């Protein structure tokens, strides 16, 4: 570069840079200096807003914004900059350009806005991260499909993010520094010069929104579990065209997460072809499996799922009592393979008579493995449990085990309705049901997912018989399938809250 501007050199290099040495190469300058120099040449009055000396306390309030817009475009970022080098472990102070940038960004109005505009690199674009998408639910949201996190947005944030689609330069957008810092810190946005376009589906969701969909791909299954409520396995499958069309419609009506189940979905004849199509859809894809058929060789059947949930109903003795000899080792091996391939694993466990003494051991096992979520449920007498009643435990005995569950995401936004307010299920025959447990038919895929969904009757919490209960807003009335009647109490949740709060009746 040419001779440094004396004012910029005094304020940035001499006044705030730990690395400045008198008589050093005049051509050396960090990008923070060049941005400040250009700003001072245009607006000399800005000098009054610069920090006065390198002895000031350094506050790094916008580290992500500065990393993406300043450091990554600095010639010292790759070579010679210890402050931004992740492999540099000794304490390293920031350069003067960074100190000045951080100080100016902390201020409001002038000089922050002119500096922020000058900071944006020429040609820089900002895009939603590949794992993020916008959803128009009852209100605007950003959905992180990778972490299954839902962020509610105000209209300004939503309008800004709609333009983060690969077609707009960041310099042409109204930038809110705090919102941008948050989005970059949460990895919701990425910066660069990419020309990849991310189309946004403009239509709003129905009300209430259908956020979760269980797609039962097949009735085929390789096991005969003693608690199964789906009946005898059979060779009934959804066609690939039905599945793809349903995924398209679900995405169009702003759906969030699809649970691909069965039967055993790894026996679905079209799973390989379906797996190839999954990246087309901006929804979270979760495979529900017994885990016994996951192998390294069939990785091309499940490589594009965002999560694999494996049923693990205890340690070896408890699990195999319910699912059969040899199933524990094969399920664990399946989880290990999926983890090795980088697919997050969650676990679902049914409380039954033969695993009650194994929960502490199972909790320790789960803690040692890379499990993102542990779902626990207490089944009621239905399906094969009617024939294997020795596996049943009464609610007051089974409910305390629910406390072992970990993780879990809920995007209900506090609506005063019972379970099922945002979900439905599709059977291998193409019927649309209220959920996978209820056989009450809302419609069929021939009519369309949205048409069927709009027939669903949503039960207000005020209709339930447990209205006086102080825990109703937390348990939402529990499971309607497990409840004693359509508007009755869920005995498991009643037992759970009574155990937690014995002085408060449920």
Is residue 175 classed as helix, strand or coil in its secondary structure? coil
Q: Are 193 and 236 in contact (CB under 8 A)?
A: no
Q: Are 182 and 113 in contact (CB under 8 A)?
A: no
Query: Distance between CA atoms of 336 and 392, rounded to whole angstroms?
Result: 30
pLDDT at residue number 214:
97
Pick the CATH number of 212-459 from 3.20.20.70, 3.90.1150.10, 3.40.50.10420, 3.40.50.2300: 3.20.20.70
> Taking Cα atoms as reference points, which of 444, 451, 446, 447 lies closest to residue 425?
444
pLDDT at residue number 353:
97
pLDDT at residue number 274:
98
Greater confidence (413 vs 472) lies with 472
Name, of 189-198, 400-409, 440-449, the range with top average pLDDT.
Answer: 440-449
pLDDT at 78 over 50: yes
Lowest mean pLDDT among 73-77, 267-271, 418-422, 489-493: 73-77
Query: Distance between CA atoms of 14 and 96, rounded to whole angstroms?
Result: 8
Nearby residues of 172 by Cβ (< 8 Å), 6 or more positions away: none
Nearby residues of 121 by Cβ (< 8 Å), 6 or more positions away: 69, 73
pLDDT at residue number 397:
96
Residues 319-347: pLDDT tens digits? 999 999 999 999 999 999 999 999 999 99
pLDDT bin (cut points 50, 70, 90) of residue 503 is very low
Greater confidence (161 vs 193) lies with 161
Q: Report the 10 Å Cβ neighbour count for 141.
A: 22
pLDDT at 240 over 70: yes
pLDDT at 218 over 60: yes
Greater confidence (191 vs 158) lies with 158
pLDDT at 355 over 70: yes
Residues 445-495: pLDDT tens digits? 999 999 999 999 999 999 999 898 999 988 999 999 999 898 999 999 999
Average pLDDT of span 143-172: 93
Q: Where are the beta strands (DSSP E) in 331-384?
A: 345-350, 371-377
pLDDT bin (cut points 50, 70, 90) of residue 408 is confident
> Taking Cα atoms as reference points, which of 68, 405, 422 lies closest to residue 256?
422
pLDDT at 226 over 50: yes
Beta-sheet pairing, 140-144 with 371-377? unpaired
pLDDT at 439 over 80: no
pLDDT at residue number 90:
63
Query: Distance between CA atoms of 357 and 341, rounded to whole angstroms?
Result: 32
pLDDT at residue number 168:
87
pLDDT at residue number 386:
87
Q: What are the DSSP calls for 129-154, one per residue?
A: -TTEEEEESSSEEEEETTTTEEEE--
pLDDT at residue number 338:
98
Residues 358-382: pLDDT tens digits? 999 999 999 999 899 999 999 988 8
CATH 3.20.20.70 domain position(s) in the chain: 212-459
Lowest mean pLDDT among 94-98, 154-158, 495-499: 495-499
Q: Where are the beta strands (DSSP E) in 238-317?
A: 257-261, 284-289, 307-311
Query: Distance between CA atoms of 128 and 189, rounded to whole angstroms?
Result: 5
Average pLDDT of span 240-257: 98
Q: What are the DSSP calls for 427-481, one per residue?
A: -TTSEEESSSS---EEEETTT-HHHHHTTPPPPBGGGSTTTT-TTHHHHTT--TT
**151 burial level (CB within 10 Å; 0-12, 13-18, 19+):** middle
pLDDT at 133 over 70: yes
Q: Six-digit token pair at 434?
A: 């209220």
Average pLDDT of span 169-186: 94
HEC readout, 315-339 = CHHHHHHHHCCCHHHHHHHHHHHHH
In the chain, what percentage of residues exceed pLDDT 90? 68
Query: Distance between CA atoms of 363 and 272, rounded to whole angstroms?
Result: 34
pTM of the model: 0.91
pLDDT at residue number 400:
96
pLDDT at 28 over 80: no
pLDDT at residue number 310:
98
pLDDT at residue number 502:
43
pLDDT at residue number 307:
98
Q: Are 153 and 161 in contact (CB under 8 A)?
A: yes
pLDDT at residue number 102:
92
> Taking Cα atoms as reference points, which of 4, 37, 7 lies closest to residue 118?
37
pLDDT at residue number 316:
98
Q: Tell me the helix, strand and coil percentages in the chain, rounded to 5.
A: 35, 15, 50
pLDDT bin (cut points 50, 70, 90) of residue 3 is confident
Residues 282-318: pLDDT tens digits? 999 999 999 999 999 999 999 999 999 999 999 999 9
Relative orientation angle of helices 316-323 and 327-340, to the nearest 10 degrees: 110
pLDDT bin (cut points 50, 70, 90) of residue 220 is very high
pLDDT at residue number 505:
46
pLDDT at residue number 216:
97
């Amino acid at each position: 570069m040419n001779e440094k501007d004396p004012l910029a050199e005094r304020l940035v290099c001499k006044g705030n840079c730990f690395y400045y040495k008198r008589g050093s190469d005049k051509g050396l300058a960090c990008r923070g200096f060049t941005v400040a120099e250009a700003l001072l040449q245009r607006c000399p009055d800005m000098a009054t807003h610069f920090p006065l000396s390198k002895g000031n306390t350094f506050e790094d309030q916008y580290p992500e914004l500065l990393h993406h817009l300043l450091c990554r475009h600095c010639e010292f970022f790759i070579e010679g900059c210890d402050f931004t080098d992740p492999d540099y472990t000794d304490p390293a102070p920031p350069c003067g350009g960074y100190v000045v940038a951080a100080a100016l960004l902390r201020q409001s109005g002038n000089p922050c806005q002119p500096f922020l505009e000058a900071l944006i690199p020429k040609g820089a674009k900002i895009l939603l991260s590949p794992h993020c998408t916008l959803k128009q639910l009852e209100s605007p949201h950003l959905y992180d499909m990778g972490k299954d996190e839902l962020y509610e947005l105000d209209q300004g944030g939503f309008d800004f993010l709609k333009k983060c689609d690969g077609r707009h330069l960041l310099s042409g957008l109204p930038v809110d520094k705090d919102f941008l810092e948050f989005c970059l810190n949460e990895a919701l946005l990425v910066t660069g010069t990419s020309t990849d376009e991310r189309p946004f589906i403009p239509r709003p969701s129905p009300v209430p929104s259908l956020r979760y969909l269980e797609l039962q791909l097949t009735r085929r299954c390789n096991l005969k579990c003693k608690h199964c409520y789906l009946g005898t396995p059979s060779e009934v499958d959804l066609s690939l065209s039905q599945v793809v069309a349903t995924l398209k419609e679900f995405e169009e009506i702003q759906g969030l997460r699809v649970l691909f189940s069965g039967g055993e979905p790894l026996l679905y004849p079209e799973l390989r072809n379906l797996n190839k199509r999954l990246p087309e859809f901006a929804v979270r894809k979760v495979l529900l499996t017994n885990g016994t058929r996951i192998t390294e060789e069939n990785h091309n059947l499940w490589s594009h799922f965002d999560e694999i949930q494996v049923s693990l109903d205890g340690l070896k003795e408890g699990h195999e009592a319910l699912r059969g000899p040899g199933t524990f080792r094969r399920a664990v091996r399946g989880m290990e393979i999926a983890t090795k391939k980088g697919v997050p694993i969650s676990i679902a466990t049914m409380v039954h008579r033969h695993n009650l003494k194994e929960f502490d051991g199972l909790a320790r096992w789960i803690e040692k493995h890379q499990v993102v979520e542990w779902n626990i449920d207490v089944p009621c007498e239905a399906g094969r449990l009617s024939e294997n009643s020795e596996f049943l435990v009464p609610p007051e005995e089974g409910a305390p085990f629910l406390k072992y569950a970990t993780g879990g995401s809920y995007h209900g936004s506090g609506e005063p309705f019972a379970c099922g307010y945002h979900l439905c299920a599709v059977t291998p025959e193409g019927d649309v049901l209220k959920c996978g447990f209820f056989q009450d038919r809302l419609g069929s895929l021939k009519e369309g997912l949205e048409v069927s969904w709009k027939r669903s009757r949503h039960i207000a919490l005020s209709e339930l018989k447990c209205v006086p209960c102080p825990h109703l807003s937390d348990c939402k009335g529990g499971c309607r399938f497990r409840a004693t009647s359509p508007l009755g109490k869920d005995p498991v949740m009643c037992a759970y809250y009574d155990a937690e709060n014995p002085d408060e009746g449920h």
